[in-house]
Structure 1
C-alpha cells in the first residue's frame, strides 16, 4: 500500500497518524514532540496541564494556563519542523481560556471532543490554528458542520471519528459499546463521510477524516484508510514508550494488563469510560467515596456531591505512579502490549507494515 500523507489545510503529515491526547499529564510536550519529529502529529492534552506546578492547588486556573503555555513552547522547541496539536475537551470548565492560550501560542491544530465545540470557530478566528472536532457519529458530525456553516461560515479543518474501542471517556451508551456490528469504526467512518458530503460540496473543500479507537497494528490502520479515512488516531500504543510523559508505574500497568482487565466504568462525569481494572476502581465502586479526595473542579458535568471520586485527582495520582489512589484509562487492545519501546520504533513498525499491507 502507498502510504498517504495526511493533509489538513496547509499542514502535511508524512505519517498519517495523530497521537491521541491523553490526560492528565500522559501526553505532554515530551511525547508530542517525539511523535511530531517522526512525521506524525503530536498532541498535548489540555486536561489539567498545570497539575505539577507549585501553584496548582492555590490558583488552578493560572497553573493550567501556565502549564499549557510551557508545554506548547517546549514541544515546538523540541520539534521545530513537526506538527503540534492540543486536545481541549469542550467539557472543561476553562475550555475557552485554554483555546485562547493555544491560539496565542500558534499551535498547529486543536482537537476538541467531550461535547460539541460550537464556539470553536470564533475562538480561532484570524489565527493559523486549525480546528478538528471529535465525534462518535455521522449525526454529530452533520450537526457541527451545519452550525459552523450557518453561524461562522466555516467548516472543520478535519474531523476525528472515535469508535467504541477507544480508551478514556466514550461518546457511546453502554449498549452501543456492546453492539460491535453497528458501531464498528469502519461503519462510523463511512457514516461520517456520508454526513459531511453536502458541506464538502457547498464549500468545494475536502474534510479529512481521522479515525481512532482500538487501532493497534498496520492491518488495523490499512483497513480504516481503505474505508475512506485520511488518517488514524492512536493513543494507547504511545503510552508504553520511553518518551511518554507518564510515570514508569503507569506504563507498567499497560504492559501488565490482560484482556480480562479491560473494563467499562461509569466516570464521575456521567459518561462510560474504558480503563484498566485495579484495586482503586474495585474499592471505589464497592466501598464508596474515599475520605481524603478533594474535587479540583475540572469538568462542567461533574457534581462533586454525587460523585464517588474526583476524576482529575485519580488521573493525576495514576500519572505519578500512585495507582493505589488512581487508575489508568486505556484502549481495548492494550493487552497486546508487552514491552516499553521508543516512539520511532512504533511508527517505523507501523509504516513498514502498512507498506506491505
Structure 2
C-alpha cells in the first residue's frame, strides 16, 4: 500500500515515519539526515549531544547547547529540505535552554518525553518549530492536552504514543512490563487517539497520532496505520543496525549478537524501568554499585551520592564502543537484527 505523507501543520514529510531519538550519541546528524533524505522525519537526540567536544567535561551543558545547532546544520547538509527535529527529555537539566536552542537553530520539530512538557508551547513561542509530547497512557495525554489548552490556548501539533515494547526508559510500571499481553495496549492507543482528536476538533486542526515501540517491519506499520487508523509510526531500534547510524560499530554488533532472552527490564538510576541488553555491566551493577565520580549535569533531579551508577557514564561508554562496560538500551525486537543495512533499505521495508 502506498503510504500517505505525514502532515504536521505546514510541515510535510513524504512518509508517515519518524526515526526515534536515541541518546547518548546514537541518533545524531548522520542518522537523522539519512532518514530525512528518504522522506521520513529524522530526529536528533540532545542527550549529552556534545560529548565528543574537548570542553564537554568542564562545561557539559554549555557544550551541549552549542552542539545542537551544529548537528542540525550537518543533518541539513545531508537532507536539504528534509524534516529534521530534536528529541529533548523533560528531565534534562535546564530543559528550557535546550528547547530554546533547538528552536533557534531551526529544528522543524521538538518532541519531549521523560516527564510532562508542561511549558513547551511557551518555550517555542515566536518560532515555527512544531511541538509534541511523548505519552504512554491516556492519563498523561489528557493532562498535557488540558494544561496546554488552559494555559496557552493551544493543542499539540502531534502526539507520539510510546508503548511497552520500546527501548530505553519506559513510562510503565515493572509489573506491567512483565505481562505486556495483559495491558491490552491497543485499546489504550485507541483511547488516546480519540482524546487527542477531540482537541484537534476544538482547535480546528489535524493532530497526527504516532505509534512508537516495537515497530520493526511493515506488518507492524500496517497494524497501526491500517487497522488502528493512526497517522504514522516511529521506529528507533530498527535504525541502529544501519550504516548511517551514529553509533559505533561495537554498539551495532551488540545488537547483531544479542539473543531474545538477553533483552531485559532494568531499573535505571533515574528511578524508571528501562529495556536494555544484559551484559557484563548490568550484571555487575546489580550486585554492587559504582560510585559516581563526576556529575555531568544531565538530569534535573539527580542525587549522585544515592545512585547505583552514573547513567551518563554508562551511556557514554556505549557511544564510545566500550560495550562491556556500558548501558545498552534497546527495544524488544533488537534480537531480530541479522545484518547491517542502509537507511534506504530499512525505510523501504517499513513503508513497503
Query: Is the pair's TM-score, using the shorter chain for normalization, greater than 0.5?
Result: yes
**How many residues are treated as equivalent by the alignment?**
351
Which aligned runs of 4 or more in structure 1 are off by greater than 6 angstroms?
none
Residue 19 (1) aligns with residue 37 (2): no
Q: Distance in 1 between matches of 2:4 and 2:248?
A: 34
**Structure 2: gaps (5+ residues):** none
Q: Which residue of 2 aligns with 1:136?
A: 136
In 1, Cα distance between the equivalents of 2:347 and 2:60? 35
Looking at structure 1, the residues matched to 188 and 162 of structure 2 have their Cα atoms a distance apart, in angstroms, of 8
Distance in 1 (CA, whole Å) between partners of 2:198 and 2:79 is: 37
Aligned twin of 1:314: 314
Residues of 2 paired with 1:236 and 1:89: CA distance?
18
1:27 Cα deviation (Å)? Answer: 0.2
Kept in 2, the 8 Å contact 1:164–1:184? The answer is no
Matched, 1:175 2:175: yes
Q: TM-score, normalised by structure 1?
A: 0.96
Unaligned residue ranges in structure 1 (runs of 5+): 353-357
Partners of 1:244 and 1:219 lie apart in 2 by 23
Report the equivalent of 1:355. none
- Is 1:198 the equivalent of 2:198? yes
Change (3 A) 1:15 1:90: same
Greater mean deviation of Cα atoms: 183-192 or 258-267: 183-192
Task: Find the aligned partners of 2:30 and 2:181 in 1 and give their Cα distance.
Answer: 37
Q: TM-score, normalised by structure 2?
A: 0.97
What do the CA deviations read for 1:85-123 (whole angstroms, capped 9, x no partner)? Answer: 100000000211110111111110001000000100011
Q: CA deviation at 1:216?
A: 0.9
In structure 2, the partner of 1:188 is 188
Kindly report which structure 2 residues correspond to 1:65-144, keeping only aligned pairs within 5 A, or say none: 65-144=65-144
Report the counterpart of residue 263 of structure 2 in structure 1.
262
In the TM superposition, residue 293 of structure 1 has moved relative to its aligned partner by 4.5
For 1:187 and 1:162, locate their aligned partners in 2 and report how far apart those are by CA, in whole Å: 14
8 Å contact from structure 1 (residues 163, 184) kept in 2: no
Alpha carbons 2:9, 2:206 under 8 Å: kept: no
Match for residue 7 of structure 1? 7
What is the RMSD of the two structures over their aligned residues, measured on CA atoms?
Answer: 1.3
The corresponding residue for 1:146 is 146
**C-alpha separation between the residues in 1 aligned to 2:301 and 2:339?**
36
Structure 2 equivalent of residue 231 of structure 1 = 232
- Partners in 2 of 1:255 and 1:147 — Cα distance? 43
Deviation at 1:287, TM superposition (A): 2.4
1:139 Cα deviation (Å)? 1.3
Aligned in 2, Cα 1:184/1:70: closer, same or farther, shift over 3 Å?
farther
